[in-house]
Amino acid sequence: MSDVLLIGDTLRLPELRHEVPVDIGDPFLYAETGGRRVAIVWSVEGDRIALVDPSIEIVPSETFSIDQLLRDGLDPYEVFPALFSQMVASLGLSRALVPDRFPLGIADRLRADGVELVVDQRFFDDRRRRKSGFELAGIRAAQNAAEAGMRAIAALLERSHPSGEGRVVDGEPLTCERLRAAAAAAFAALGCRGDDMIVAHGAQAADGHDPGRGRIENDDTVLCDLFPQHIESACFADMTRTFRVGAVDATIADWHGQCVEALELAVAMVRSGCEGGEIHRAVCAFFEERGHMTQSTRPEGSVQTEGFNHGLGHGVGLEVHEAPGVSRVSHGLVAGDVIALEPGLYRRGFGGVRVEDLVLVTEDGCEVLTDYPYGLDP
C-alpha cells in the first residue's frame, strides 16, 4: 500500500478534511505510513482530532524544535518547509502520494531532501467519492438548509407587490441583496453558511456565476442557485430553482417546462455503473431536438452565449464541484456518489432558467435528496 502525505489546513484542503474531519485552520501534517495514521499538529488544537478519530496518532508539533533552525539563521520563509521536512524524516517516509494541491513550496524542500512525491489526484478523488456517514449526514443537513433558504426567498417574492420603481416588501425595495440576506439567515439558523449564492434576476441569470444584484422588477425572473456549506462537516449541498413574478413570459415558461423535463430524464438515468457523460449527452440531445444549441453542437472554439451552455452536473461533497463529472468530463457513477444535475437554458441579454436537484447514487437508481417543488410561481 502506498504511503500518503498531506500538508495543509482542513478548511482549504478537502483531501485532508476527509481524513481529519475537524476544522483546523493552520497548516499541519498528516501521513499514512506502515499502517500508521499520524497527525503532527500544534498542541493548541488539543484533543479535537483524537475525539473524532482515535485511530489517528497525534504528535505535537512542539516536539520539533525551531530553535536550531533559527540559530542556523534560516530565513523565516524557510522555517516551515524545513520543519515539515524534519517531521517527514521522523516518520521514515521516503515516497508518498500527494494531491495536486500539495503546496509547491514544501514539495520543493522535501524533494531536495530526497523524499519522492507522486501526484495522484485520482487516488484522493476516489477516496472522497465514498462519503463517510458523517459527511453524508452533513450533505443532508446542508440540503435541508438550502431548502429553508429557498423558502425564505420564495416567501419574500410571493409577498412582494409592484410599485413605480419595482417590487416592494414591507415598504422596502426588494433586491437580490435582500433575498440573499434572507437565505443567509436561514442557513445560519441551521448551522450552515453560504457566502457565494446566486440570486440573479432578469438578464443577469444568463451570466454563469454572476451572483446577481439590484432591484427585482415588477415583471421579472429570479434564478436562485444555493450551495450552503454545513459548518460542522464542511460538506455542501447544491440546488437551483427559478421563479417568475408578475406577468407571465412565454419564453421563460417554455424553457422552464423543458428544463424540468430534462431534469426528470436525467434523474431517471442515474444508477451505479452509468457513465456521467452519457447522461449529459442525453440531456444535450433532448435540448437539441427542441432547437437549442448545446456544448455538443456549438462551433468548436466559440463562446456559447445561448442554449444549454454548461455541463449537466458534478459531484458534491467537501467541495461544491468535485468528482464525478457528469458533463464532457465523465466518470462511471458508483453507489454512494452524490451528484447535482442542473439543466438550464439561457440567452445573453435576455435571461435564463435553471433547475437543479441533488441525488445520491444507489445500486439500482438514486435517492433524490432535494425536496422542493419545481414551480415557477414562488
User: Residue 209: what are its φ and ψ, rounded to 5°?
Assistant: -90, 20
CA 197 from chain center: how many Å? Answer: 11
Q: How far is the CB of 43 from other proteins (least distance, A)?
A: 5
Q: Which residues in 34-73 belong to E strands, given as ranges?
A: 36-41, 57-60
Read off the amino acid at residue 95.
R
34 conformational bin, left if phi > 0, alpha if psi -120 to 50, beta if neither? left
Q: How far is the CB of 250 from other proteins (least distance, A)?
A: 26
Residue with smaller CB distance to other proteins, 106 or 353: 106
Nearest to 363 by CA among 270, 273, 272, 267: 272
User: What does the chain come to in residues?
Assistant: 378
The answer to the question of residue 106 lying near other proteins (CB under 8 A) is yes
Q: Which of residues 203-242 bind other proteins (CB under 8 A)?
A: 207-211, 231
Q: How far is the CB of 326 from other proteins (least distance, A)?
A: 12
List the grid coordinates of 200: 440573479
Determine which helix (DSSP H) or strand (DSSP E) holds 365, and give its type and residue range: strand 365-368
Q: Point out which span in 32-40, 105-113, 138-146, 259-267 binds other proteins (CB under 8 A).
A: 105-113
Binder among 1, 104, 247, 250 for other proteins (CB under 8 A): 104
Determine which helix (DSSP H) or strand (DSSP E) holds 339, and give its type and residue range: strand 338-341
Q: Which of residues 243-282 bind other proteins (CB under 8 A)?
A: none
Q: How far is the CB of 161 from other proteins (least distance, A)?
A: 24
Binder among 89, 115, 119, 137 for other proteins (CB under 8 A): 119
Q: Give one DSSP letter per residue of 73-96, joined into a string.
A: T--HHHHHHHHHHHHHHHTT--EE
Spell out, one character per residue from 42 to 81, where the chain touches other proteins: x when CB under 8 A holds, - when not: xxxxxxx-----------x-xx-xxx--x-----xx-x--
Number of residues located near other proteins, criterion CB under 8 A: 70
**Residue 113 carries which DSSP code?**
T
The answer to the question of residue 168 lying near other proteins (CB under 8 A) is no
In contact, 162 and 246? CB cutoff 8 Å = yes
| Site for other proteins, rule CB under 8 A | 8, 11-12, 23-26, 42-48, 60, 62-63, 65-67, 70, 76-77, 79, 98-108, 117, 119, 121-122, 181, 184-185, 187-189, 191, 193-196, 207-211, 231, 295, 300-304, 309-310, 320-321, 323, 325, 328-329
